[in-house]
Amino acid sequence: MSELNKEVLDLVWGRPSSGGVSASIFRRWTQGFVFSENEHTALEQFEGGPCAVIAPVQAFFLKNVLFNRESSNWRQMTEEEQKTELCSTLNEILESACASPTTGFCLVTWAKGQSPHASVHTKSQTESQSQTQDMPAPESSQPPQEQQPNALAAKDLDFERFHSVLHKRTVMSVSELKEEVLSLYHAWRGCCGVLLFLYSILMIYTLLSCKNIRNEIQDTMEPLIDPVHGHGSQSLVNLLVTGHAVSNVWDGDRECSGMKLHGIHKQASVGFLTLMESLRYCKVGSFLKSPKFPIWILGSETHLSVFFTKDMCLVGPESPTEQARRVFQSFDPEDNGFIPESLLEDVMKALDLVSEPEYVNLVKSKLDPESLGIILLGPFLLEFFPDQDSGIPDSLPVYHYNGLKQSNHNERVEYVEGTALVLGFEDPMVRTDDTPVKRCLQTKWPYIELLWSTDRSPSLN
């Protein structure tokens, strides 16, 4: 492989000190993009790890299906429609990773005659079929469910052999890219399709120089795929969601001990929320929390799933209460839920509230009657925005996706339907569950309540 390819491999897998990349971790990443037999618009994940690619692709796929497709039944699709929508989604993500269309696009696929046959199950079959011509597989007349197990038929394709049979295709225009992505549909769906797509993104992103991505990743020694557990890094998720492989989820760049730490620089099309924020490990900025479309990737300690709705009201313009909460929290970087009373005047000025010293002192005495020296967020919002309407309906239908069979009810990858109540304040009369999904969503909507149609709440893991 060329030096550029070697550097891309180091970015993805790191530089193992001994023994190379773990065979079990590599095997987990060798699946393709496969649709669930029970949910026509849901991708299935076979083992832990590749959710870092599959969940963002699922989120963009849902965006296109829900808001760009002229069909009332978004959960039903023919195989041909799946092909069209999946390739359109992959193309969109690939385009977003390109610094400049004039530099062209690079796709990674199988070398001629080296593509594993979709029905490979044994080593002897692999060896005989790898000698066949690399011809596009014909459109199958079989229903998708009969082909699904075949997408993870890579038991005998180890790390070294896989990387010895790859080929780069370069195209110079957006229209050519669209045609090539469509022509590679069977490669995306088949063995190692997720890795082929990941490498294609990185080759496009680093077409000029791997320094592009090295400059954005905070810890350049951290690979995109964890060598111990096989999970994708935040940089990898951010690359697929925003087109930039930054390591952080806050808005903009920050200075820390003289070092610039890169964050998110514009509103994303789909969002990201994480349980880690509820545990105070990080703080997601508004560019990811408030995306253009009401679809959020949800992160737990080990897995990614997707929460979404068809109702655009969840991503409408920021209400005065939401603005006040955001501004207040900007003066509370540690997310304590309060600020020193000395900062109250600055908060009021930032919100264009009356901020004359006499009035500020009056507000202080009212919000801090015990003279504790702090101003709590809740009383502050009730004082200045007591009856604000968020513009969100009393209740709205929502859905949750988890690509792992074992994380779904009856081990069937299907959307879990529910009803969300997005309240502006805590109501003890409306108290539902206290699950990881809810705690994750509360980082965006502090007083959200969820009623699911299933006996058990959906799983983040």
CA 90 – CA 60 distance, rounded (Å): 9
CA 434 – CA 437 distance, rounded (Å): 8
Catalytic residues, by residue number, are: 51, 303
Q: Which residues pair with 416 in a beta bridge?
A: 400
State the amino acid at position 452 in one-letter form: W
Q: Which residues contact 13 (CB under 8 A, 6 or more apart)?
A: 21, 223, 225, 227
Nearest partner of 274 among 263, 294, 288, judged by Cα: 288
Residue 385, classed as helix, strand or coil, is coil
Tally of helices (H runs) and strands (E runs) in the chain: 19, 14
Say which residue the tokens 């692999």 belong to: 126
CA 175 – CA 366 distance, rounded (Å): 63
Q: Which residues contact 189 (CB under 8 A, 6 or more apart)?
A: 32, 33, 34, 86, 151
3-state secondary structure 101-146: HHHCEEEEEECCCCCCCCCCCCHHHHHHHCCCCCCCCCCCCCCHHH
Tell me the CA distances in angstroms from 377 to 47, 324, 327, 368, 425, one per residue in order: 42, 9, 11, 11, 11
Give the DSSP per-residue string, 69-110.
---S-TT---HHHHHHHHHHHHHHHHHHT-S-GGG-EEEEEE
State the amino acid at position 184 in one-letter form: L
CB burial of residue 343 (10 Å; 0-12, 13-18, 19+): middle
Q: How far apart are the first and last CA of the chain?
A: 36
